[in-house]
Structure 1
């Protein structure tokens, strides 16, 4: 994703804007498509947060980028700050959001994809895999890495 998102601004948990290309360089990236108005998203987000926090302890190279389907900036930011982990998001209104929705054929949310630096999808339905493997998070991540490398 680093190559594909180069030049795109991401916002960190601290509100700092960073260049996605530099920030994601060398990282294994999960794109998380979600929105504050989506009840299934609100049910899955705490699971993703737990997964992220556990995996980050042993795999600091793992990163999530929130790609919001919210209809206004305040909804995106409040949802992110209230419920999400210490990952990054693409700011509201950035045209890259629509580009990613189209490229990855996102029809429903929540959705999560694990992608390589060039944008190639490695894991198409990471959301279901996380949801179904909360007891085996490390094994799940190891399986992803077998596909990633």
Structure 2
């Protein structure tokens, strides 16, 4: 995943090596922003889903792509997220948004091991299927 995200991601605890993603079965990208009402509405459900999914062992990781307008907004949002984020760099984030053709947020999608998109309807899966979505994503990704 280093070829996609670079060598380092960030969390509310600080920097973390991207290579840690290699041991996580499910990798999701979440594009959102603090100024986006649908993003703010979905956020509590996604936090609950993430925490439930990883309760007994690490089953999923989410990598956040911020559409925030400045680094202060990014940092304020990041401190409430249990998952990882691409460091705030508008050029790098813009390149990832373009690579994955993200025009509308919030957007949550599943990556294959090679970094291509495996499934684009993960937000709906979280809302409708809940934790059972993970079993489907594992089948899609294998």
TM-score calculated relative to the size of structure 1: 0.86
1:106 to 98, 102, 112: 102
Distance 1:3 1:73 in 2: 22
* SS of structure 2 residue aligned to 1:24: helix
> Is 2:130 the counterpart of 1:143?
no
Matches within 5 A, 1:29-108: 29-82=27-80, 84=81, 86-93=82-89, 95-108=91-104
Structure 1 alignment gaps of length 5 or more:
none
Q: CA deviation at 1:95?
A: 3.0
Structure 2 alignment gaps of length 5 or more:
none
* SS of structure 1 residue aligned to 2:3: coil
Distance 2:5 2:38 in 1: 30
Q: CA deviation at 1:62?
A: 1.1
C-alpha spacing 1:41/1:5, structure 2 compared with 1 (3 Å)? same
Which residue pairs with 1:124 in the alignment? 120
TM-score calculated relative to the size of structure 2: 0.90
Distance 1:3 1:118 in 2: 11
Regions of 4+ moved over 6 Å: none
